[in-house]
Structure 1
């Protein structure tokens, strides 16, 4: 790390939540030429984001780029982030957090979709045939920060310095300071079954009131509710993650979904949440939201600091 920049600049993980987003997951093409092209592209991301964003300064355009475990080895070799590994599956058949292919994640955010669309176009054009897009989702903000199932999403997100504390790697892995781990899943919802529930039944599944977004009292909140199982504590302290989930869908195709995206300084709290949800706490006491929601993708990525992202362009891995 250059001596005049002792604290790396992070990517835009803690930027304000926006009205639109595009999530792109891509796999790396085989061969050294593709890897070299992706490494060179690492220096283009910030410049392209500035160029597109400057056209609408009020649009709050940002882009976050992360890399999967196997792709990191191919692209950059050692050293590697201490806790980066493949997505860990949880649960049983019919209720499973599945792992799906993914080497590169792009999380593009802005107040309006045209900015996201333009930046995605420019970024993918620069990559050319070095990657293949395996999943692309255009997300939108739904009324007053609600998910497609009608409940407010992300209420318990940390803010300010706490957001940085819970999302940024620190002294525990100094070579990757100011980086983050990000876990993504695409969920599809059975809205016919969900809407057949009464509001009170829905509130027991989520663990919060629907209209006012207030957490149910512990005396009445089921232990299998979504909020109960996704609250993680360690050494008596709550460990938070930063969510920027977005609804998506195609009404004509009967597709209604939530793109889950969570950032943390370690994969551990996010994986604990998935284990609680899909296996249960204790086992069998699983998240009842999964009776209506199915995870169809899953990936874990490391988001290097903005400074390291540019430096990675010059890091050619040594293969024996």
Structure 2
């Protein structure tokens, strides 16, 4: 569980009717890196300023950083399990790894709020970043994915959501943070819609209309539901999905933006291995015969407190190493963030 004095970002916020997903890469250069670090301290203020205009709009934003970006912007220490997205390849089935340094997951009940927040935040970042992927998602009827099945039925709720998504004392320096993995899938809707509903249900592992899970004695072992269910010591390991449909009808583009949060990337990566390679190998997710991943990225989501503190590293190191009353001067010659000291200092300021 997170430390009592650590506030997570809006990871566990309720699913909304609209969302914008933005993946960016960093522009090389110290000045650009400084711009991004300064921007980190203003993210919460942007959300407050835009959200205050429509208090009932449930506006939120989650900001995450890729492995390369963390090293470039912040250095040591680094989140214990942060690493580049690991491509998974099994024949024609590929979970691709694509460039991405910063992720923005913006949610609201109305797209105008999402759009305004994205506009203001990217204007502040300017040339310091390049947008490499932008997806505008929408709620599809009663929480149904593009392929017509209800999505996210088994999402953890309340305290259980915190348990499975928020880092605790296993990585105390980064308590209150989370990991998020994203993939953009494109669907062969013509091929999918040509399947009988019963065949679709066997591929997903649920009834299409009622959303009731198929009985264990009839649900295929290669169904999507079977392969994405993980057990550890008799307990089901869950992730929090906030997937959104997206598309462009004129271009015949129909897709699902997968976004999964967890306190460790391990369960999400295991689910992907089960889907693409199979459990056992070869017994893969038949949904991949109709769905193709075209992006893939893994990001660390710092706590809200830490995100606000991730400003100029030199300033942080100086603040953290400044002599405290009745305490010896702290030495810090390695250029690290001194995050632990900084967090303690901020909370007692």
TM-score tier by shorter-chain length is over 0.9
CA contact (8 A) 1:91 1:275 kept: no
Taking structure 1 as reference, are residues 237 and 127 closer, same or farther at Cα in structure 2, changes over 3 Å only?
A: same
Residue in structure 1 matched with residue 185 of structure 2 by the alignment: 187
SS in 1 for 2:130: strand
C-alpha RMSD over aligned residues? 1.1
Determine whether 1:217 maps to 2:215: yes
**Structure 2: 5+ residue stretches without partners:** 315-333, 337-349
Distance across 2 between alignment mates of 1:39 and 1:278: 37
Out of 85, 88, 95, the position equivalent to 1:87 is: 85
Residue in structure 1 matched with residue 319 of structure 2 by the alignment: none
Out of 257, 260, 263, the position equivalent to 2:258 is: 260
Distance across 2 between alignment mates of 1:315 and 1:205: 49
Out of 122, 125, 136, the position equivalent to 1:124 is: 122
Residue in structure 2 matched with residue 207 of structure 1 by the alignment: 205
Distance across 2 between alignment mates of 1:133 and 1:180: 23
CA contact (8 A) 2:185 2:293 kept: yes
Distance across 1 between alignment mates of 2:149 and 2:184: 17
CA contact (8 A) 1:25 1:133 kept: yes
Shift of 1:6: 5.0
Taking structure 1 as reference, are residues 125 and 232 closer, same or farther at Cα in structure 2, changes over 3 Å only?
A: same
Out of 68, 71, 83, the position equivalent to 1:70 is: 68
Distance across 1 between alignment mates of 2:59 and 2:10: 10
Distance across 1 between alignment mates of 2:236 and 2:313: 37
Output aligned runs, 1:125-140, within 5 Å: 125-140=123-138
Shift of 1:314: 3.5
1:11-56 deviations in Å (ceiling 9; x for gaps)? 0001111000000000000011111000000011100100000000
Q: TM-score, normalised by structure 1?
A: 0.97
SS in 2 for 1:156: coil
The number of equivalent residue pairs is 315
**Structure 1: 5+ residue stretches without partners:** none
SS in 2 for 1:202: helix
SS in 1 for 2:149: coil
Out of 24, 27, 34, the position equivalent to 1:26 is: 24
Distance across 2 between alignment mates of 1:47 and 1:71: 22
SS in 2 for 1:12: coil
Distance across 2 between alignment mates of 1:226 and 1:99: 21
Shift of 1:235: 1.2
Residue in structure 2 matched with residue 318 of structure 1 by the alignment: 335
Out of 140, 143, 150, the position equivalent to 1:142 is: 140
1:91-114 deviations in Å (ceiling 9; x for gaps)? 224211000000000000000000
1:190-244 deviations in Å (ceiling 9; x for gaps)? 0000000011000000000000000000111000000000001111110000000
Taking structure 1 as reference, are residues 159 and 32 closer, same or farther at Cα in structure 2, changes over 3 Å only?
A: same
Residue in structure 2 matched with residue 171 of structure 1 by the alignment: 169
CA contact (8 A) 2:313 2:335 kept: no
CA contact (8 A) 1:34 1:130 kept: yes
Shift of 1:315: 2.6
1:134-169 deviations in Å (ceiling 9; x for gaps)? 000000000000000000000000000000000000
